[in-house]
Amino acid sequence: MRQISDKTTEQQNQASKYIDQMSTSEILVTMNEEDKTVPHAVAKAIPEIEKFVNAVVASMKKGGSLYYVGAGTSGRLGVLDASEIPPTYSAPPELVQGIMCGGLTALVTAVEGAEDDFDAGYKVVDERGITENDCLLGITTSGMADYVHAALKRTKEIGGTTGLLVCNEFEKTSDIDVLIKAIVGPEIVTGSTRMKAGTATKLIVNMITTASMIKMNKTYGNLMIDLMTNNKKLWDRGARIIRHCTDTDYDNGMAKLKEAEGSVKTALVMVLLDVDAETARKRLSAHDGALRKVLDEEGKSLHL
């Protein structure tokens, strides 16, 4: 059986060695101080994160998707990030997908031994229809989950792009195109990688998808102009974005948003170029959904 005792996330954290004797305030301060180190660990990985983002964008432009695969906290964070992309960026659910080792049951209940099932990880790639146009990011804090490595191996055989996110030192293998290491050090509670390692993972997957969506023309400046309105809060946000970005008022912005069937980006083109919804959609389609290019062509811009 492989040992993980040499992994930094399995080492004893000296700052919390006597945490059971601390007051509640001291426990929380100690945790907070340790958490402050996580962004610095992530910053060191930015060059590799950049490589993977560029690969994801290239893949998406070819019609490919991004897949996350992981076990435990790692898998759950991948599924969480994937689930937030459709409502935030009006993206189809297949664009970013999470694969949870152990299946949906493992999202809420630990499935013992699932991460050690190499065959299941190998098969899931074909079961999910991953192709040479896709990117797969394996997430495993220790770098030891067989399920994850099997998925990477099969994806590489198919010709897809692979990445691995770990929070410990790890030697890159031939199945990994991009190795992302966020070395967060010992956890407050020894081995509890849902803490600093989980925080680093959340930061990195957010960076990957957010940067990719920006590069896929899903924002204008830092405004979420490609959102689709599917509840009262988002209808209101959409109308307020239109009011903020143009010279129109809230009521007209809401009216255009309704004509655009809830598409903020389409409504903005309608207002700025004084066209109907169908024309606005065609203009956007001609520029791969890039609102800035559509407006630049007419010498227009949004108020930021």
Predicted local confidence at residue 3, as pLDDT: 58
Predicted local confidence at residue 4, as pLDDT: 63
Joined tokens for residue 253: 């912005």
- Per-block mean pLDDT, blocks of 10 residues, the chain (304 long): 70 91 97 96 98 98 97 94 91 96 83 84 96 97 93 98 96 96 94 94 98 94 84 91 93 95 94 96 93 93 88
Cβ-proximal residues to 111 (8 Å cutoff; 6+ apart), any chain: 101, 102, 103, 105
Q: What domains are defined for the chain?
A: 8-215 (3.40.50.10490), 232-297 (1.10.8.1080)
Predicted local confidence at residue 229, as pLDDT: 83
Check if the beta carbon of residue 56 is closer than 8 Å to that of residue 208.
Answer: yes
Predicted TM-score (pTM) of this structure: 0.91
Predicted local confidence at residue 102, as pLDDT: 87
CA–CA gap between residue 155 and residue 7 (Å, rounded): 26
User: For residue 244, which amino acid is it?
Assistant: H
Predicted local confidence at residue 173, as pLDDT: 93
Write out the catalytic residue numbers: 84, 115
Cβ-proximal residues to 301 (8 Å cutoff; 6+ apart), any chain: 295
Check if the beta carbon of residue 29 is closer than 8 Å to that of residue 172.
Answer: no
